[in-house]
Structure 1
Amino acid sequence: MAELCSSMPTAGGLYYAASVLAPEGWGPLASWIVGWSNFFGFATGPCSVNYALASMLVTCGAIAYPGYTPQTWHTYLTLLALLVIQGFITMQSTKFIGWVNKVQKFALCHYKEVDLNSQVGTVANVVIILIFVIWFPVGSINSPKTNRSSEIWTTFENGTDWPIGWATIMGFLTTIWTMSGYDAPFHLSEECSNANIAGPRAIIMTSLSGLVGGWAIILVIAYTVKDITEVVAGPYGQPFGSLCLQVLGPKPGLAMFALNIIAQFFVGQGCTITATRVIFAYSRDGAIPGSRYWSRVSKSTHTPVWATWGVLTISALLGLLMFASPVAIGAVFSIGAIGQYTAFTFPVALKLFFDGKSKRFRPGPWHLGRFSKPLGAIAVGWWCVIVPALCFPAVKGSDLTLLTMNWTCLIYGGSMLLAMIYYAVSARKWFKGPRINVEHTNIVEGVESGSVEGKVPVVGTLRDEKRE
């Protein structure tokens, strides 16, 4: 993905790359598939992240006030409040967003009007991770404070009805959902300078920081947790809250839990910002119903305000699934993971299988060289394994009911089916593919002008789009 971003930096991201790399005549359909898959991934992001944050806040109240009994509607109202707060932040100017949000820091986009070193979100997240990895093993109230390595590396608990190998693959849902925003710098490239270098560098830094930080966090949890069953099925319904209490005790545990709530807020803010840029990019190409509204840019802030509140409205509606069952709202997490990984992998597959003779891809300043195809093949193979795993229910046989069924396949598949019907009935007649923010000279000339399959005129960046 990083080399695609370096080759063709635009707010459309993978949606644009798919149109470029598809065989001649198939560009609009390829970008339509990737665009809608990425849309479903990012549109569910603010809901899933802020639902987790709302649950954490409600749990925090239950820990602090033992007499308080959380209700589902408490969580939903908290979710709505979070969406409104993040909406007001997201609709502000790029300068303000760059100061408050960690995503732009990782992107290293060098905004001309903001000193990125002062960004609140980045500092908060790094500091909280450091506090966690130090405080947990040192401040543990248990004796011994840490578990033995022999127990950590040899004990496996299978919480599903499937063999341990497949259950392990299914367990990647948490990691995939957490590490699914790789293309955020891609979508922000129209708001930064030197994007064909800064964008891919951001993608690599984001993944590496997630690898290092995530690995440290998992190791700390594995060495300090004492009763996994109590953490997973604890009285508060929030595993991390139960973990903090189990390891640090009531007051210190609540303090650590509160710090993670702060970190989670900045994550939700980053998801919201990126989602609005995705909606904006697709809307200016007319790919989404109501595009004339979602593609509008505010005169004062130069940001897509309509797209911001459109995304948050979708999140608010998806949040109603929490009233159905935990499994129903849990499908939102899986949909986001499948949607984004499908969007990530599709352009890579097009480059791998269809770019042999046409040479439509031309490397940018940052590229993988001879490792491009082998790594692309690994990425496609991983997608073939992980997508079915994310659709499996945890139980089978008589234990499989409407409440324990994994509805991800039906919801994601049904949504994509509606998108494809829309394309077959209407969009194929008028959708010509994405617009671009800069002239992409890497594309083969001689194809019909007006589509990214040919050499197209320069259009403005997000800041230069027609204002409201």
Structure 2
Amino acid sequence: MAPTTQTHSDLLVDQDDVPVIGEQDRSETNSQDDAALLKSMGYKPVLHRTYTLVENFSTTFAALYFVGGVRVTFSIGIAAGGNLAYWTSYLVTMVFTFITAAVIAEVCSASPSAGSIYLWAAEAGGPSNTQAAVNYMLSELTVFNVDFPTDTGDIKFRAVQWICTEILLALAALLNFLPPKYFRFVFYFSSFMVLLDFVLNIIWLPIGAHDTWGFRTAQEAFMSTYNGTGAPPAWNWCLSYLATAGILIGFDASGHVAEETKNASITAARGIFWSTVASGVGGLATIILFLFCAPDADTLFSFGSPQPFVSLYAVVLGKGGHVFMNIICIVALWLNTAIAIVAASRLVFAVARDGVLPFSSWVSRVQDGQPRNAVIVVWTVAALVTCTILPSSVAFTSLVSAAGVPSAAAYGLICLGRLLCTPKRFPKPRWSLGRLSKPFQFIGVFWNAWVVAILFSPYVFPVTGENLNYAPIIMAGVTILALISYFVMPEDAWLPRNRISHFLDSKGTVSETVEEVGSSRRAQHEGTASQ
């Protein structure tokens, strides 16, 4: 049997123009229904809708992968202020990220679409994982004293790094072509690997630390400070947020699969919020564990491998135990990449559905309820970005470091849009914050502005061409291109204003299809011409 395929013209509907004053309680209308909600946004339901809260929760839980996030950022956080700065900054980050996640979850409840933050930002206002997995593998060269360069400045090392990264990326992308009934097991296994990694660290790391260099005292674990960035003391402390904020960025992943989730207006919102809470609490426990079990800063930075925790595990767990832990880390990061491709491909599909991308009609094509062409686009772009490893490790690192900025900026813009542009007009969600909504939006604006500022900051001082943070330069270039597109492309070419207005004022009822709307517009045009 040939696969069922939807083309670009099958994806959009037009909405009835039903002006409404004040917020609309969707719980009293048939827009609770997933299809009606989607149609009120101007789209036809074409993606499979088979996922439940378990799969939706797992999307963000696996995408955040809190244990891996702490491991990757641990040395960065320790260098920027030491232990005291790292855990206190994480507490602040955790609380304010929970608040932001609550706002995003509320918006998702009103607008559960694959477009996620792309569409929510408009309505409110009116690939690094595979490379991280490769770092775990190549760090074994240091542990086993293999005569091969491990310096990222060496082209031989970067070539091997690139080949391994491309292979893992391809395998992760191919997983996304599994039918939904099988891919749900990827969600289950990803979450299981995160929990297994966490449990093994809780059990093995204290035993290994006790038998080797011993536990740090409470004074050492919580109160020691360090300046490894060369920045002035105050800003050195602030840079610890670069590490802590990165652990919990990306919690919108559950929103990207909202169109594939049953009872999405409730389930997707719960998935976003509670997976963020679970990851945040798990991250705090992991940080405390590492603070007591890791060596002092000078010893940690002396390991001299792309991923210091590989050498740390080798010391405290022995070669056999650390290899097993390393395999767990690599598999978890690989599955994390597969989940990231899920989220990214749904976002690309949603953007293409609105006709924004080149070849949008092909990119937005759906086969058997899955946006497989969008997966190919994400895979291709990620593979091309990975090629920047070859000429320079700085280029790739800069692109990866800039990746968190758009998410934080989008979170802040959504909060700002809800606070100022649609304070009363936005449809009332089924998952609502009630009286906390406005205060949370206000906090979300300033918190995410702070995160963006930190992500734009140089990390090592004095600043040179080699350690320059290219994130603001990359974002400036993207912003310039966006402004040019804004003035060059007509508004009706993508996400027209009236579609947003119709969504904001809609009760979820739809009476016209794309074809009917097209016919009525042609009739109107012909009538105007005859006059």
Q: TM-score range by the shorter chain?
A: 0.7 to 0.9
Question: Does the 8 A contact of 2:412 with 2:449 survive in 1?
Answer: no
What is the rounded CA distance, in whole Å, between the counterparts of 1:68 and 1:434 in structure 2? Answer: 57
Report the equivalent of 1:41.
none
In the alignment, structure 2 segments of 5+ residues that lack a partner are 1-103, 151-156, 515-531
Aligned amino acid, residue 474 of structure 2 = I
What is the rounded CA distance, in whole Å, between the counterparts of 1:380 and 1:57 in structure 2? Answer: 39
Question: Does the 8 A contact of 1:187 with 1:278 survive in 2?
Answer: yes
How has the CA–CA distance of structure 1 residues 263 and 440 changed in structure 2, closer, same or farther, with 3 Å as cutoff? farther
Residue of structure 1 aligned with 2:369, choices 302, 321, 325: 302
| 1:415 shift after superposition | 1.7
Report the equivalent of 2:402.
335
| 1:429 shift after superposition | 5.2
Report the equivalent of 1:368.
433
Question: Does the 8 A contact of 1:225 with 1:246 survive in 2?
Answer: no
What is the rounded CA distance, in whole Å, between the counterparts of 1:422 and 1:74 in structure 2? Answer: 38
Report the equivalent of 1:408.
471
When the two structures are aligned, how many residues end up with a matched partner? Answer: 405
Post-superposition Cα deviations, 1:215-245, rounded to whole Å, max 9, x if no partner, equal 1111111111114334335332212212212
Report the equivalent of 1:37.
none
Question: Does the 8 A contact of 1:186 with 1:199 survive in 2?
Answer: yes
Matched, 1:86 2:172: yes
| 1:311 shift after superposition | 0.9
Report the equivalent of 2:109.
6
What is the rounded CA distance, in whole Å, between the counterparts of 1:219 and 1:180 in structure 2? Answer: 20
What is the rounded CA distance, in whole Å, between the counterparts of 2:456 and 2:109 in structure 1? Answer: 33
| 1:418 shift after superposition | 1.1
Post-superposition Cα deviations, 1:142-194, rounded to whole Å, max 9, x if no partner, equal 55521000111211112222233322332223333332221111110111111
Report the equivalent of 1:390.
455
**Deviates further, 403-412 or 416-425:** 416-425
How has the CA–CA distance of structure 1 residues 174 and 292 changed in structure 2, closer, same or farther, with 3 Å as cutoff? farther
What is the rounded CA distance, in whole Å, between the counterparts of 1:61 and 1:100 in structure 2? Answer: 30
**Deviates further, 380-389 or 76-85:** 380-389
| 1:139 shift after superposition | 2.4
Report the equivalent of 2:494.
431
Residue of structure 2 aligned with 1:243, choices 280, 289, 312: 312
Report the equivalent of 1:311.
378
Report the equivalent of 2:143.
63
Sequence identity (%):
26
Aligned amino acid, residue 135 of structure 2 = S
What is the rounded CA distance, in whole Å, between the counterparts of 1:435 and 1:224 in structure 2? Answer: 57
SS of the counterpart of 1:140? helix
SS of the counterpart of 1:443? helix
What is the rounded CA distance, in whole Å, between the counterparts of 2:460 and 2:192 in structure 1? Answer: 41
Residue of structure 2 aligned with 1:347, choices 414, 435, 450: 414
How has the CA–CA distance of structure 1 residues 416 and 211 changed in structure 2, closer, same or farther, with 3 Å as cutoff? same
Question: Does the 8 A contact of 1:348 with 1:376 survive in 2?
Answer: yes
State which structure, 1 or 2, has the greater radius of gyration over its C-alpha atoms. 2
What is the rounded CA distance, in whole Å, between the counterparts of 1:267 and 1:435 in structure 2? Answer: 38
SS of the counterpart of 2:505? coil
What is the rounded CA distance, in whole Å, between the counterparts of 1:458 and 1:246 in structure 2? Answer: 65
Residue of structure 1 aligned with 2:485, choices 404, 419, 422: 422
Question: Does the 8 A contact of 1:184 with 1:274 survive in 2?
Answer: yes
Residue of structure 1 aligned with 2:163, choices 63, 77, 89: 77
**Deviates further, 170-179 or 303-312:** 170-179
Residue of structure 1 aligned with 2:214, choices 138, 145, 156: 145
How has the CA–CA distance of structure 1 residues 427 and 135 changed in structure 2, closer, same or farther, with 3 Å as cutoff? farther
- State the structure with bigger RCO (CA 8 A, min sep 6), 1 or 2: 2
What is the rounded CA distance, in whole Å, between the counterparts of 2:276 and 2:378 in structure 1? Answer: 25
**Deviates further, 47-56 or 137-146:** 137-146
Aligned amino acid, residue 505 of structure 2 = V
**Deviates further, 263-272 or 13-22:** 13-22
| 1:61 shift after superposition | 5.1
Aligned amino acid, residue 428 of structure 1 = E
SS of the counterpart of 1:51? helix
How has the CA–CA distance of structure 1 residues 313 and 140 changed in structure 2, closer, same or farther, with 3 Å as cutoff? same
How has the CA–CA distance of structure 1 residues 327 and 159 changed in structure 2, closer, same or farther, with 3 Å as cutoff? farther
**Deviates further, 183-192 or 387-396:** 387-396
What is the rounded CA distance, in whole Å, between the counterparts of 1:209 and 1:307 in structure 2? Answer: 30
What is the rounded CA distance, in whole Å, between the counterparts of 1:96 and 1:309 in structure 2? Answer: 19
Post-superposition Cα deviations, 1:255-299, rounded to whole Å, max 9, x if no partner, equal 22222222212211111111011100110111122212211122x
Matched, 1:164 2:233: yes
Post-superposition Cα deviations, 1:308-331, rounded to whole Å, max 9, x if no partner, equal 121111111211232344433222
Report the equivalent of 1:43.
none
Question: Does the 8 A contact of 2:133 with 2:333 survive in 1?
Answer: yes
Post-superposition Cα deviations, 1:53-105, rounded to whole Å, max 9, x if no partner, equal 1221222355356344451110100111011101111122222221112xxxx
| 1:442 shift after superposition | 6.5
Question: Does the 8 A contact of 2:121 with 2:414 survive in 1?
Answer: yes
Question: Does the 8 A contact of 2:411 with 2:444 survive in 1?
Answer: no
Matched, 1:127 2:190: no
SS of the counterpart of 2:139? helix
Aligned amino acid, residue 271 of structure 2 = A
Question: Does the 8 A contact of 1:444 with 1:455 survive in 2?
Answer: no
How has the CA–CA distance of structure 1 residues 74 and 144 changed in structure 2, closer, same or farther, with 3 Å as cutoff? closer
Matched, 1:289 2:358: yes
Aligned amino acid, residue 384 of structure 1 = A
Post-superposition Cα deviations, 1:362-411, rounded to whole Å, max 9, x if no partner, equal 22221111111111111111122121211111234xx4221111111001
Report the equivalent of 2:32.
none
Question: Does the 8 A contact of 1:177 with 1:334 survive in 2?
Answer: no
Matched, 1:187 2:256: yes
Aligned amino acid, residue 287 of structure 1 = V
| 1:51 shift after superposition | 1.1
Q: How does 1:162-241 map to 2 (within 5 A)?
A: 162-241=231-310
Residue of structure 1 aligned with 2:134, choices 47, 54, 57: 54
Matched, 1:443 2:504: yes
How has the CA–CA distance of structure 1 residues 334 and 308 changed in structure 2, closer, same or farther, with 3 Å as cutoff? same
What is the rounded CA distance, in whole Å, between the counterparts of 1:315 and 1:175 in structure 2? Answer: 25
How has the CA–CA distance of structure 1 residues 314 and 242 changed in structure 2, closer, same or farther, with 3 Å as cutoff? same
Question: Does the 8 A contact of 2:205 with 2:293 survive in 1?
Answer: yes
Report the equivalent of 1:462.
none
Q: TM-score, normalised by structure 2?
A: 0.71
| 1:458 shift after superposition | 7.3
| 1:335 shift after superposition | 1.5
Aligned amino acid, residue 240 of structure 1 = F
